[in-house]
Structures are given as structure tokens and as C-alpha cells.
Structure 1
Amino acid sequence: MQINRLFEIVYILLDKKTITAGELAEHFEVSIRTIYRDIEVLSGAGIPIYTSKGKGGGISIIENFVLNKSMLSEEEQNDILMSLQGLNATKYPDTEPVLKKLSLLFNKQGMNWIDVDFSHWGSKNSEREKFDILKRAILNRNLITFDYFSSYKEKTERTVEPLKLIFKGQSWYLYGYCRVKDDFRIFKITRIKNLNKLDIAFMRDIPKDIWTESETCKNKLVTLVLRIHPKMAYRVYDEFDEECIQRNEDGSFNVTVTLMENEWVYGYILSYGNYVEILEPKHIREIVKIKLKEALKKYL
């Protein structure tokens, strides 16, 4: 208990700068004599604490003091705080108090380098709430239920053990064990509707490599070769890894990328309009050709 109290005294002094022995005694529910003994212990350990009398006086710590700075390099301190900022931005529980204490210890108050909003642009509050429900269900190991719309617009009711949120291929997915299908499944989050968290716990380990474990994903993967017009250079470099891109002599791009074959992929290709040509595979080329013809009929 004394060790914990000593560390917390340091945190309080770093935060409040000056505090009276009486206030510390009330906070820790100990005697003022005990607080003064603690101050002696801290001073003996090399913590630069001093006392001042009179109005506004009390117990203080020397300004700009950083506790045990020699234990961690500047880069290590920044790495720790950035990691905590990342967790805090995702609303991971109980990170704010730790982040505040370490920021004080490292003398890096006000450091806030990241903000995370999982929902897509233009989404409603319900979409943001969906991610919050999924996060809490994953962390607390609670079952969830929802209606799911497949790429073929089929609606099914699911009861799922949520295991992980995944961002892949410009989309968010939920990975979990579906009790309806009695197997691991990957669900596109935008197709999840009427989501509810149940007060029913589950126990299940996550497979090491969920993409190789998921037969659903393996069976739907397709490698596309696209020729894209130079006017779309900004999208090419935004949306594809550099190793996927080959620049042609005429300024166009050949892009080779592996994606899940579904309606999203067809729509994604069509979003390039007349600035894209599918070189491979032939069956995707034919599907998009049919969709273009069907779309054209609406304007004739």
C-alpha cells in the first residue's frame, strides 16, 4: 500500500504542482504524520520534493521534473504515449487514467496525435454506435444478434460470437463464430442491421490466421488486372500499394490486385467510369460489360 501511495503522491504533485499535507491525508485517509513520513521517503529516493509555508504554501515538486527519465529514452516515451493515444482514440476502456499519469511522468502533457472514427463519411450516428456495440461485445465476450444482408440481397438472422474488427480492402468487417452456420464467418459491417448485444458470455480462441482459416474468403478471392487512365493517378496511388502498380509508356497504369469477388468489386470497378479497362480475368470483364449494358438501357 505504501508503494502505491508514494507513486500516487508523485502523480498528484505533478498534476496539481502544490498541495497541503492535510489534503493528501484526507485523500489517502491516513494521518498527516504518515504523509510527512512518505515525503521523507520520496526525498530520500531522490525525488525533488519541497515544502513551503504561508498562504499558498504546501508540498510541491520541482518544476519540469520527469520521474525516472533515464529508464526510457525520448523515443521510447513517445512510442508508449502514441500507443496509448491510439487505444484511447478507439475508446478502449481505462486508458485515459494511464495516459494522463504517464503524460505527467514524461512531462508531455497535451500530446494528442490521433483521432479515430470507424464510421464512413456521411454516415449517421447509428453507424458510429454500431462500432461501439461491436467493440464492447468483443472486449466483454458477449454474444450479438443482427440481420445480415448478403451480396445477393438475402436477409438472414444471425447469432454470432464476435472476435475481431478488421479493415481490409477499403471496408470494415466483423470476424466471428456464427452459431447459425456453426462456423467462423466474416461479415461486412455495412450489411449488418438491427445489431444487439446480449448479456450472454462466450469463450472461444481466435484462429492465428483468420484469412487462411476462412474458406468463405478463399473461395471468393480474385486477382484483377486493370488498365487505368492517367487522369485517375490520384486514385491509383491512394487506393493501391506501390508494388501493385505498373506505369505504361502512354502514362496509363496497369494495376494487379487481389480482392474478394462480390457486388462491391463490380461497383468499385464501375466507379472509374470510362477510365478503366479490365484486362483479366475474362469472366469479370463479361460481368461488368453486362452491367454497363443494363445501366445504359435506363438512359435510352
Structure 2
Amino acid sequence: MKLERLISMIYMLLNNEVVSASALAEKYGVSQRTIYRDIDAICAAGIPVVSYQGVNGGYGIIESYKMDRSLLGTYDVGSLITVLHSMSTVFDDERAMETVRKLQTIQKDDRPPNLSMDMGSLRSYNESLRMLRSAISDRHAVEFEYVSGKNERTRRAVEPVSLHYQYDTWFLFGYCRSRNDYREFRLSRMAELRLLPDRFERRHDASPQRMTFEKFRWNDHIDVVLRFSSESMAKALDYFYDAERSFNPDGSLTIRLKLDNAVGEKRLLSIILSFGSEAEIIEPLELRQTLKDTIQKISRIYSQV
């Protein structure tokens, strides 16, 4: 309890020019004598607390110890706090939270933040991220079961290099000992992640081959027209937020986009199937027929129900 009070007092002193002993005693529900002892303990820890005499006297921290407020504007500080707070939640990173608390001491106003971000996910997902981050820092190899884009299940031994987040997905970039080359792995396709006992000495200077969103976009080749019922408009816009759209008099939504490869076609069909009867492929007829054939295959699977 005393440690928590001391830490809180330090940040209160950092956030204020001068704070009286009586105000501190009232805030923490202790006597002024206890506050005096706490101030002595803070000074002994190397934090330069000075006392000011007079009617408006009290305690403060010398200005040269505080971060210069002019280095960062309010927008910069608020953005940094938002990002660091989200990262500290994902990785349970006390160092990031310490930086957040330091940045809060130079905020020029106490208005509520106008930006928030939550990169958190399922608990097991966050635990994998923390394990991988630790492995990267300690240069520990890892092993996991992985499902490739070709739906092949393999075990991979990897020397992890970096984690990156894009398109709402976490990726691990590392040197795959199983393939003797650098690879990117989606965390969502990993299972049975564990640290290997050995540390690696190899220097990894390679950068990840950044995935381009073109793999998942539909452009350049086939014009596709989709219609969604009024009950599924929100979901459709979530999937096709950058496509051409038009709202119809009957309340339905028409989406127009371009499809360029087999990967895009398979993904599109999977999305349309997830809408059930609330979505329809209008054009082209070939894609409409492909969806019909897929539905018939599904129907045969459940023919005995």
C-alpha cells in the first residue's frame, strides 16, 4: 500500500507545480507526518523533490527533471498515450505503461481523449503475442503447428524476428528452419506454440515481405455486382467498405467491385455464403453458377438430415 501511495505521489508531483502537505495528506487519507516521511523516501530514491515556503507553499519536483512540455504538442501526446496504452494491454507491458504515465505528466489539458484504440483480442491470442515478443527479445527459437494457405498442416521451427499488425491481423516474421528461408505466419493459424530450449545466434537483417492488400482485393479483371438485403447492409459495408455502392428504393444495397484472381474468387464466395439468403451474385453469370454449384455440394452433404 505504501509503495502504491509513493508512486501515485510522484506522478501527482510531476503533474503539478506545487502540492501542499495538507492536500497530499487529505488525498491519501494519512497524517501530514506520514507525508513528510514519504517525501523523504522519494528523495532517497533519487527524485529531486523541493519544498516551497509561504502561504502557497508545499512540495514540487524541480523543472529540469520534468520532460519539456514544448517538445510535444497536445495532439502528439494524446496519440502516443492512445497507442502505448493499447499496446500495453496486449503485451501486459509495464514499461509501456510507465511511459504512458510519464507522457500524462506533460499533457496540457485533462479533456477526455478524442481517439481510442483497442488492439486486444482473445486471452490465448494475447498470451501467444507475449510469448513471441519475449522470444524475439531473448533470441529464443519457437515451434508451432501451422496451417498454410494451401490448408496443409505442418510443424514449424522458427527463429522469430518481428511481429507486425496489419489488416486487423497479427503476423510473425521469422526464419523458418523447416523451409530454410524467411516466412510470414498468421498468428490465427498457429497452434501449440512453445519456446525451444536453444537460443539462436544468427543475425536477421531481412525485412518481412509486406503483404499487399491486392491479394484480398478484387480489381482489374472481372466486374462483379452483388445485391444485399436491407437486413444485411451493415455487414456488407463492413466487408466491402471501399467498393462502389448504391442504395436501392426497396432498401437493398448494390455493391460493384472487380475480381482479379482465383484467390479473390474463393474468398468472395466464402463471404457471400456467410450471408445465407441475404446476399445474391447478380453478375457475372459464371460466378453465379459457381456459387450455385457450391450450394448444391453443401446441400448433398446435408441430404440425410
Task: Answer whether TM exceeds 0.5 for this pair.
Answer: yes
Q: Tell me the distance in 1 between the aligned counterparts of 2:186 and 2:72.
A: 41
For 2:254, the equivalent position in structure 1 comes to: 253
Structure 1 residues 111-140: Cα deviation after superposition (integer angstroms, max 9, x where no partner): 774433133xxxxx4344223323333454
Distance 1:126 1:90 in 2: 11
Residue 52 (structure 2) aligned to one of 50, 53, 58 = 50
Partner of 1:293: 296
Equivalent residue in structure 2 for 1:272, among 263, 275, 279: 275
Count of residue pairs the alignment pairs up: 258
3-state DSSP of counterpart to 1:180: coil
> Are positions 1:26 and 2:40 aligned together?
no
Query: Aligned to 1:180, which of 163, 178, 181?
Result: 178
Secondary structure at the counterpart of residue 131 of structure 1: helix
**Map 1:1-300 → 2, pairs under 5 A:** 13-14=13-14, 17=19, 18=21, 20=36, 22-28=40-46, 39=50, 50-51=52-53, 59-60=59-60, 68-91=68-91, 92=93, 94-106=95-107, 113-119=116-122, 125-150=123-148, 153-162=151-160, 163-168=162-167, 171-198=169-196, 199-201=198-200, 202-207=202-207, 209-211=209-211, 223=219, 225-231=224-230, 232-242=232-242, 244-247=243-246, 251-256=252-257, 260-261=263-264, 266-274=269-277, 275-277=279-281, 279=283, 282=286, 287-297=290-300, 298-299=302-303
Structure 2 CA distance, aligned partners of 1:248 and 1:299?
37
> Do 1:144 and 1:159's aligned partners in 2 also have CA atoms closer than 8 Å?
yes
CA contact (8 A) 1:118 1:131 kept: no
Partner SS for 2:178? coil
Cα distance in 2 for residues equivalent to 1:95 and 1:109 = 20
State whether residues 50 and 61 of structure 1, in contact with CA within 8 Å, keep that contact through their aligned partners in structure 2.
Answer: no
Q: CA deviation at 1:237?
A: 1.9
What is the distance in 1 between the residues matched to 2:194 and 2:108?
Answer: 42
- In the superposition, the TM-score normalised over structure 1's length comes to 0.65
In 2, Cα distance between equivalents of 1:296 and 1:14 = 67
2-structure distance, mates of 1:154, 1:221: 24
Task: Tell me, yes or no, if the aligned pair for 1:149 and 1:191 is still in contact at 8 Å.
Answer: yes
Q: Tell me by how many angstroms 1:71 deviates.
A: 4.6
Aligned-residue CA RMSD (Å): 4.2
Please give the secondary structure, in 1, of the residue aligned with 2:59: strand
**Cα offset, 1:279, TM superposition:** 3.2
Verify the 8 A CA contact 1:165 1:173 in the aligned structure 2. Answer: yes
Q: Whole-Å Cα distance in 2 between the matches of residues 101 and 226 of structure 1? A: 52
Question: Could you say what secondary structure the match of 1:134 adopts?
Answer: helix
Give me the whole-angstrom Cα distance separating, in 2, the residues matched to 1:145 and 1:15: 46
CA distance in structure 2 between the partners assigned to 1:90 and 1:128 by the alignment: 6
AA of the residue aligned to 1:193: A
| 2:225–2:283 CA contact under 8 A, matched in 1 | yes
In structure 2, give the amino acid aligned to 1:97.
E
Q: Contact 1:175–1:186 (CA<8 Å) still a contact in 2?
A: yes
Partners of 1:180 and 1:262 in 2: CA distance = 30
Amino acid at match of 1:14: L
Alpha-carbon distance between aligned partners in 2 of 1:155 and 1:59, rounded to the nearest angstrom: 63
- Unaligned segments of structure 2, at least 5 residues: 1-8, 22-34
The offset of 1:98, in angstroms, is 1.6
8 Å Cα contact 1:11-1:104 kept in structure 2: yes
Name the CA distance, whole Å, in 2 between partners of 1:219 and 1:71: 41
Secondary structure (helix, strand or coil) at the match of 1:22 reads: helix
CA distance in 1, matches of 2:70, 2:216: 53
- Equivalent position amino acid for 1:59 in 2: Y
- CA distance in 1 between counterparts of 2:189 and 2:266 reads 12
* Separation (CA, whole Å) in 1 of partners of 2:147 and 2:61: 60
Q: Which amino acid aligns with 1:279?
A: E
TM-score calculated relative to the size of structure 2? 0.64
In the alignment, the residues of structure 2 paired with residue 174 and residue 262 of structure 1 have an alpha-carbon distance, to the nearest angstrom, of 26
Offset at residue 61 of structure 1 (A) = 6.4
**Aligned twin of 1:122:** none
